[in-house]
Structure 1
Amino acid sequence: MAGEPTAVTISDAALDAAAAPLLDKLVADAVASKLTGADATLWGADAESEASIRLSWTSLHKSSRPLIGEIEALRAELRSEGVDRVVLAGMGGSSLAPEVITGTEGVALTVLDTTDPGQVADALAGDLERTVLVVSSKSGTTVETDSHRRIFTKAFAEAGVDAARRIVVVTDPGSPLAELGEAEGYRRVFLADPHVGGRYSALTAFGLVPAGLAGADVARLLDQAASVADTLAADSADNPALRLAAALGAAHADGAEKVVLADTGSGIAGFGDWAEQLIAESTGKQGTGLLPVVVENPGAPGFAGAASDATPVAVGPAVDGAKISTSGPLGAQFLLWEYAVAVAGRLLGINPFDQPDVEAAKKAARSLLDDPQALHGTAEPSAVLGSVEVYASAGTTGEGSLADVLREFLGTVPERGYLAVQAYLDRLDDASAALLRPELARRTGAQTTFGWGPRFLHSTGQYHKGGHPNGVFLQLTGAAEDDLDVPDRPYSLGTLQLAQALGDGQVLAAGGRPVLRLHLTDRAAGLADVMRAVQELGS
């Protein structure tokens, strides 16, 4: 449970034995204390310049303390004005940690990490008189977040609400968003530590401000991290982060390039979704890395009876089938996994602080937005099957029934490869799409991931293009019943969403990854058609 001491248990004897020499070497090389001391040389000369400006996260349990009073004062101000509904516009590291924190604490936070017009419209339909919008972007230029800001600014004005008084910014010093916040007189601009990368930012203003405004106890979160900080900094074989890193490194060296995460009663809500970005974006590059596979429970396909290409990890108490388990309260788990993944990067021989392949999909999407004909014009579906338009990948015909199309496509999953299901849909109204993950995993026997687009582009998107080149990608897109224009921009949310899907698909295909896109002309009917086709595949 969440109150248990922070610990890592390696329950698989063979993995424990394989990890032992790596653990001994990490201790002998004083990796933990050097990391805590911000030694940028730990990952080699090529990584040194980036690492030198990305290591302040090891001391956030101390340096973030002044935020506690600032957040509480702003929350009290807002509540005195009747403002008690918090909407967060942010992607990747700006949204995943706050969602886990507030979910674990049971406080309400509306998270917008989507370009789906229906999901954004649902957030707009809430009581704007009671709403504060937290606009959170490290770069200050995130297109999804800027779109949300523009849409809410217009909606506030139309509702007779002073938008500037209802927008709070979290960004890095000197970013365009910081400058805009000052120029527009937004309610508050929080400047985060620029020496912390997005996926390591859970205990910075990016994680704490939206969660704290929503009512989470951020002081307790920092206390939890502080309680384990000295242990994680110790050059000792008892250091749980070193044990976890050594186990992941040893498993990868033995061919287990996938890490399957299941919650086993940790008391933490959605931890796997946060860890997914940390692991994938940190390690998935140069043709190597650890692919996180977040599953529904320890009995789900992919965890139970996992093949030799995967390491099942229990987040919470150890269970049958798990080779590793991690326990501890949320703040401590944040810090534990950050240390472990950074050290695993050293063992894998990569720089855990860059994301060299993320920008490619963004560029492709921008190019499509600039060329409406390329976006909407020429590509004809391979087939139209009920409410589903089929856009077949290179090397597949797209012929026959929908089950035939899927069967042919799934046959391209290589041995020890993986299937990624990418749903550019409404995470709330189209939630049934997530049921495809266990169904496809059960029927293919391949490790299968599921991601909501474009949210996953800021998370596992790096691994898809930079990690082990053995993935195949099933994209789901859908017609928008009611689109939303983005004020002062030449595109709507629906157009942006489609451009992101097609742009990422182009980059994946150019890298030799098979991509099949199923476009749902009627979302509910199309999802039902796809699920029936999957069930026709047999078990």
Structure 2
Amino acid sequence: MEPDGLHVSLGNYSGVIADALAQARRDNVVQRIWSKDASLWKTDAAHQKIIRNSLGWLTVASEMSAVADDLIDFANKIRGPGGFKHVMLCGMGGSSLCPEVIRQTFEQQSGYPRLLVLDSTDPDVLSSFANQVDIDHCLFIIASKSGTTTEPLVFYKYWYNQVKQRRQNPGESFVAITDPGTRMVEMATEDNFRRIFLNRPDIGGRYSALSYFGMVPAALIGVDIRKLLSRAEGMMRSC
């Protein structure tokens, strides 16, 4: 099989897969995905409503490309000789998966902070993270789609109290990523967070890599998010 320049050797499965692809073309599967046709997956109305409200990831690359300059500008403002030396992403599940991949994939860029991803409430892990950073020069990203996930809220309270003991304006050391209208928006506003990034509510945590949940930490450590998003848009067009 060689669709669009992709060479695949399928062996004994070639015929079965060819039949499945032919059926998908007859059923207009690709077109129905892009039109967010929930009936492709489920027939009952309740499930279809959930599905329609979970497909924002399909076009998020283009939408994030439009705000890439803002993220890069923000990254430039928080770094430098007197800026933050570490960025600690505090989240669980889908909110921390992409940042962890970014941390492991991209080397630390010269002049940019180092990224740490905290996704455990184990006291020993927390102590280890505290020993790795200069709290006076660490930017904490509190990431939670719902804004009510227990672990990120615990991280937020712990680190906020630590920073509060050291500076008069502790909120300047914090950034929030969450959905619009969540409790986290209220708390971040009350505590004067440096920035609050409102993510599209129709993107689930495990589909949020190219949304603010992935692109904010990526930009802050110097990843070329323009190129990354451009490549993602190229994949969109090829589909």
Q: Structure 1 residue 103: deviation in Å?
A: 2.4
Q: Structure 1 residue 121: deviation in Å?
A: 1.3
**Higher RCO, 1 vs 2 (CA within 8 Å, ≥6 residues apart):** 2
Letter in 1 for 2:35: G
- Of residues 84-93 and 97-106 in structure 1, the stretch that sits farther from structure 2 once superposed is 97-106
CA distance in 2 between partners of 1:228 and 1:129 (Å): 41
CA distance in 2 between partners of 1:48 and 1:147 (Å): 34
CA distance in 1 between partners of 2:129 and 2:56 (Å): 34
Residue in structure 2 matched with residue 95 of structure 1 by the alignment:
96
Q: Structure 1 residue 31: deviation in Å?
A: 0.9
Q: Secondary structure at 1:110's aligned position in 2?
A: strand
Q: Structure 1 residue 24: deviation in Å?
A: 1.0
Aligned pair partner of 1:117 in 120, 123, 127:
123
Q: Structure 1 residue 15: deviation in Å?
A: 2.3
Residue in structure 2 matched with residue 136 of structure 1 by the alignment:
143
Alignment of structure 1 residues 68-87 onto 2, 5 Å: 68-80=68-80, 81-87=82-88
Q: Mark the CA change 1:8 to 1:201 in structure 2 (over 3 Å): closer, same or farther.
A: farther
CA distance in 1 between partners of 2:117 and 2:51 (Å): 30
CA distance in 2 between partners of 1:161 and 1:202 (Å): 34
Residue in structure 1 matched with residue 220 of structure 2 by the alignment:
213
Shift >6 Å, 4+ stretches = none
Q: Mark the CA change 1:116 to 1:175 in structure 2 (over 3 Å): closer, same or farther.
A: same
Q: Mark the CA change 1:8 to 1:50 in structure 2 (over 3 Å): closer, same or farther.
A: farther
**Residue deviations 1:447-503 (CA, integer Å, cap 9, x gap):** xxxxxxxxxxxxxxxxxxxxxxxxxxxxxxxxxxxxxxxxxxxxxxxxxxxxxxxxx
Give the CA RMSD over aligned residues: 1.8
Q: Mark the CA change 1:56 to 1:99 in structure 2 (over 3 Å): closer, same or farther.
A: same
Letter in 1 for 2:84: V
CA distance in 2 between partners of 1:199 and 1:128 (Å): 29
Letter in 2 for 1:204: S
**Residue deviations 1:188-212 (CA, integer Å, cap 9, x gap):** 0000011111111111001101121
Q: Secondary structure at 2:193's aligned position in 1?
A: coil
Q: Mark the CA change 1:131 to 1:104 in structure 2 (over 3 Å): closer, same or farther.
A: same
CA distance in 2 between partners of 1:51 and 1:59 (Å): 15
Q: Structure 1 residue 9: deviation in Å?
A: 5.4
Unaligned runs of 5+ in 2: 109-113
1:20 aligns with 2:21: no
Alignment of structure 1 residues 125-274 onto 2, 5 Å: 125=131, 126-160=133-167, 162-232=169-239
CA distance in 2 between partners of 1:227 and 1:162 (Å): 43
Q: Structure 1 residue 161: deviation in Å?
A: 6.2
Residue in structure 1 matched with residue 59 of structure 2 by the alignment:
59
* 2:90/2:118 contact within 8 Å kept: yes
Q: What is the aligned length?
A: 227
Q: Structure 1 residue 12: deviation in Å?
A: 3.5
Q: Structure 1 residue 215: deviation in Å?
A: 1.7
Q: Mark the CA change 1:161 to 1:16 in structure 2 (over 3 Å): closer, same or farther.
A: farther
Q: Structure 1 residue 129: deviation in Å?
A: 1.6
Residue in structure 2 matched with residue 30 of structure 1 by the alignment:
28
* 2:176/2:193 contact within 8 Å kept: yes
CA distance in 1 between partners of 2:168 and 2:14 (Å): 59
**Residue deviations 1:509-537 (CA, integer Å, cap 9, x gap):** xxxxxxxxxxxxxxxxxxxxxxxxxxxxx
Letter in 2 for 1:78: I
Q: Structure 1 residue 159: deviation in Å?
A: 2.9
Letter in 1 for 2:78: L
* 1:124/1:152 contact within 8 Å kept: no
Alignment of structure 1 residues 296-307 onto 2, 5 Å: none
* 2:65/2:230 contact within 8 Å kept: no
Residue in structure 2 matched with residue 39 of structure 1 by the alignment:
37
TM-score (norm 1): 0.41
Letter in 2 for 1:27: R
1:11 aligns with 2:23: no
**Residue deviations 1:37-84 (CA, integer Å, cap 9, x gap):** 222221122320111111121111211123312212221221254213
Q: Mark the CA change 1:122 to 1:229 in structure 2 (over 3 Å): closer, same or farther.
A: same
Residue in structure 1 matched with residue 111 of structure 2 by the alignment:
none
CA distance in 2 between partners of 1:54 and 1:66 (Å): 21
Residue in structure 2 matched with residue 487 of structure 1 by the alignment:
none
CA distance in 1 between partners of 2:159 and 2:213 (Å): 20
Q: Percent identity?
A: 32
Higher strand share: 1
CA distance in 2 between partners of 1:55 and 1:193 (Å): 10
